[in-house]
Structure 1
Amino acid sequence: MMSETALRDLNLLPKSERTTETSSKNILTKPYVEHTGENIRGKQRENIVSLVEPPVNGIEVEHSVSEVVVAEVEYIDSDKLNDVKDVDKSLKVLLDGLGSKDWVLLCETLNNVRRLSIYHKEALHAILDNVISLVVKALKNPRSAVCKTAIMTSADIFKAFGDRVIDSLDHLLVQLLLKSSQDKRFVCEAAEKALIYLTVWVSPVLLLPKLQPYLKNRNPRIRAKASMCVSRSVPQLGAEGIKDYGIDKLIQIASSQLSDQLPESREASCALLLELQTAYEKSSVLAPEQDTSSDPPQVHSWEQFCESNLPKLTAQAVLRVTSITREGLVSGL
């Protein structure tokens, strides 16, 4: 059951996340203002940030009120991340770094979490719950550089720890669904990738109950992203897993999004219904018990199955979608 705190995060995104920032495929450049008296890190952090303060008219100028600094942030793909130099030292300062208000240090520490997840996941496992809580906090950060780096960190955590994240997943899932539904394209794409990692590396049996409440969320974009996750997760159950979970439950989940507001929800619903239809018709495991009193024995068709497990109008909609879509696939349309 999700906590009330997690559900409250499903309100509209704050205005601070709606601002437009310049971005490119791999580099984000953003000017920002720091007040005099704050500590400016002068050295260039590895693969993270460089700070530049050019002179004015060839003369060094001391800013009495504020100074403008230009920061460059590089987003590093997981397969290009190097191992940490000192595991024990990195672990010792990890939680403090994740809680830092210095956004440059925070991004650096998030990348260290990624490195530890890839190269030393067992060492990280002891503090994983605390790490995930601080990653969630970073996901809420209004600075897009921090947010995207936290999203990439989430993806690496899913890949490294799989089902072991399930007890700490609620707040993380809320934020990823929110970020995948917002207007900043480069943040949205990163969040969608993280959700794909989630459905690949976390067992559907554990993940589907976490996703179901979001299918009824008041935000249609949240419902759409959750529907897409469900549609990707269910096929990994296989015939035996679908039987154990209950194909009758799954068809009700899939059909609930069939008339949803956004096309992404409806398309995900159609894809899942076709998957269930194929599994039902091809797998003897999912077929209901035969009626041996008749000759020859009768097996319920897909149509009969839908009509016996769904309200009449819903069953008609499901059958219409699955028959039309299948006919289109067969004819190559």
Structure 2
Amino acid sequence: MSEKALRDLNTIPGTERKIESSLTKVYVDNGNKNTEECQKKNCSSLVSPPSNGNQTVNPGIETGITEVEYIESENLNDLEDIDKSLKTLLAGLDSKDWVLVCEALNNVRRLSIFHKEAILNMLGDVITLVAKSLKNPRSTVCKTAIMTSADIFSAYNDLIIDSLDPLLVQLLLKSSQDKRFVCEAAERALVAMTTWISPILLLPKLQPYLKNKNPRIRAKASMCFCRSVPQLGAEGIKAYGIDKLIQTVAPQLSDQLPESREAARNLLLEIQNIYEKFHILAPAIVSEHSEMSSWENFCHSKLSPLSAQAVLRVTNIAREGLVS
């Protein structure tokens, strides 16, 4: 190595110096080896061992354009020393060294998958620090935190509802930004959230974001809301309140972004079917006109004239399509 190269190397911070390998990849999620270039020149990447059973790759850092790879949750290996990981977990998550933060985030993922009871007593603090990492401007840290959020949803379900808000707002923001690989990861985390957290608890958390000033956030929140409601089931939707749901969803029909409008249309059709299931005892002997009148009367009684008209336009078009 030339003297100039040595001098350049010595200018790199201690946490980012080359250790043993010149390989500059971060293994934190994807088994199918999705890659992305760092957003800045002279950025460095943490090298975590790939999921090959024994994880023998040595970490290494070097400057320049780097490729980043991630390990999917199902390919993560268990921790070798659980007690040590627990003792250093919060300090690692709160570190100023982004390499240590990524390592700690991946340990949260492993603990959530293999030893979820071990961090129950510190789960609130863990979630607060994961949310802090979601705000990190370094894409590697941010995406690792997003994947950690998804694993937390999968492991702890409703147990995190009281700590959900800081994760939710950041995931909505990240899913509506322009960095595609971050956006896609955040969308997957939001799907995990609506899959693993009970809708009866999640829907009130989502509702305020349906009126957010940012149209992209409104769209993502609307998609989550409309994905979560059907999980209530017919009886659950009736108990929650069909009137409350159409009053919440109807304004999304005129939203700025098509994602909001499409999600609202799909949910309103489902709500209509459930309404008619409970309010028409014998649909086979009831005329089509009277059936529609019942739904029409309900919409007009619960919505403003313009909103009712918009909802009926959507549901009538769908009905006409089925008849034809």
Same fold (TM over 0.5): yes
Q: What is the CA-CA distance between 1:280 and the residue it aligns to? A: 1.2
Q: What is the CA-CA distance between 1:27 and the residue it aligns to? A: 2.9
Measured against aligned partners, the alpha-carbon deviations of 1:69-101 in whole angstroms (never above 9, x if no partner) come to 565542111111111112111111111111112
Q: Equivalent residues in 2 for 1:51-130 (5 A)?
A: 51-53=60-62, 68=63, 72-130=67-125
Q: What is the CA-CA distance between 1:240 and the residue it aligns to? A: 1.7
**Which residue of structure 1 lines up, in the alignment, with residue 203 of structure 2?**
208
Q: What is the CA-CA distance between 1:125 and the residue it aligns to? A: 1.1
**Which residue of structure 2 lines up, in the alignment, with residue 26 of structure 1?**
34
In 2, Cα distance between the equivalents of 1:52 and 1:32?
Answer: 14
Do residues 322 (structure 1) and 315 (structure 2) align? yes
**Which residue of structure 1 lines up, in the alignment, with residue 168 of structure 2?**
173
Quick check: 2:139–2:182 contact (8 Å CA) kept in 1?
A: yes
**Which residue of structure 1 lines up, in the alignment, with residue 234 of structure 2?**
239
The TM-score with structure 1 as length reference comes to: 0.77
Quick check: 2:172–2:217 contact (8 Å CA) kept in 1?
A: yes
Which structure has more helix as a fraction of its residues? 2
**Which residue of structure 1 lines up, in the alignment, with residue 305 of structure 2?**
312
Q: Which of 49, 56, 72 does residue 46 from structure 1 map onto?
A: 49
In 1, Cα distance between the equivalents of 2:144 and 2:323?
Answer: 43
In 2, Cα distance between the equivalents of 1:115 and 1:304?
Answer: 53
Residue ranges of structure 1 left out of the alignment (5+ in a row) = 1-23, 35-39, 54-67, 291-297
Q: CA RMSD in A?
A: 2.7
Q: 1:49 to 1:192 in 2, by over 3 A?
A: farther
Q: 1:263 to 1:114 in 2, by over 3 A?
A: same
The TM-score with structure 2 as length reference comes to: 0.79
Provide runs of 4+ in structure 1 moved above 6 Å. none
Give the stretch that moved more between structures: 98-107 or 149-158. 98-107
Q: 1:52 to 1:78 in 2, by over 3 A?
A: closer
Quick check: 1:182–1:188 contact (8 Å CA) kept in 2?
A: yes
Q: What is the CA-CA distance between 1:129 and the residue it aligns to? A: 0.4
Higher relative contact order at CA 8 Å, sep ≥6: structure 1 or structure 2? 1
Structure 2 SS opposite 1:183 = coil
Q: What is the CA-CA distance between 1:26 and the residue it aligns to? A: 2.1
Q: Which of 292, 296, 299 does residue 303 from structure 1 map onto?
A: 296
Quick check: 1:28–1:145 contact (8 Å CA) kept in 2?
A: no
In 2, Cα distance between the equivalents of 1:272 and 1:49?
Answer: 50
Q: What is the CA-CA distance between 1:325 and the residue it aligns to? A: 2.6
Residue ranges of structure 2 left out of the alignment (5+ in a row) = 1-31, 51-56, 283-289
Do residues 268 (structure 1) and 276 (structure 2) align? no
Aligned identity (percent) is 68
Q: What is the CA-CA distance between 1:288 and the residue it aligns to? A: 8.5
Q: What is the CA-CA distance between 1:214 and the residue it aligns to? A: 0.5
Q: What is the CA-CA distance between 1:29 and the residue it aligns to? A: 4.0
**Which residue of structure 1 lines up, in the alignment, with residue 159 of structure 2?**
164
Measured against aligned partners, the alpha-carbon deviations of 1:200-230 in whole angstroms (never above 9, x if no partner) come to 1111111111111111111000100000001
Structure 1 SS opposite 2:111 = helix
Q: Which of 122, 133, 146 does residue 128 from structure 2 map onto?
A: 133
In 2, Cα distance between the equivalents of 1:276 and 1:141?
Answer: 40
Quick check: 1:208–1:230 contact (8 Å CA) kept in 2?
A: yes
Which structure has more strand as a fraction of its residues? 1
Q: 1:144 to 1:329 in 2, by over 3 A?
A: farther
Structure 2 SS opposite 1:27 = coil
**Which residue of structure 1 lines up, in the alignment, with residue 24 of structure 2?**
none
Quick check: 1:181–1:225 contact (8 Å CA) kept in 2?
A: yes
Quick check: 1:49–1:71 contact (8 Å CA) kept in 2?
A: no
In 2, Cα distance between the equivalents of 1:128 and 1:303?
Answer: 48
